[in-house]
Amino acid sequence: MELTYRKAIKDDSDLLIDIYNASFYDELYPVW
């Protein structure tokens, strides 16, 4: 259970990093 919990936290962190990088690139190269 704890391993799954830790993995979920890591996945959330990766997702936040992906969102941050995506918004950063959106400012450099606007897609909208």
CA 29 – CA 19 distance, rounded (Å): 15
Q: Where are the domains of the chain?
A: 1-32
Q: Is the pLDDT of residue 9 over 60?
A: yes
- 13 Cβ neighbours under 8 A, 6+ residues apart: none
pLDDT at res. 24: 72
Burial code (b: 16+ CB inside 10 Å, e: under 16) for 5-25 equals: eeeeeeeeeeeeeeeeeeeee
pLDDT at res. 23: 74
Q: Is the pLDDT of residue 32 over 60?
A: no
CA 27 – CA 14 distance, rounded (Å): 20
pTM of the model: 0.40
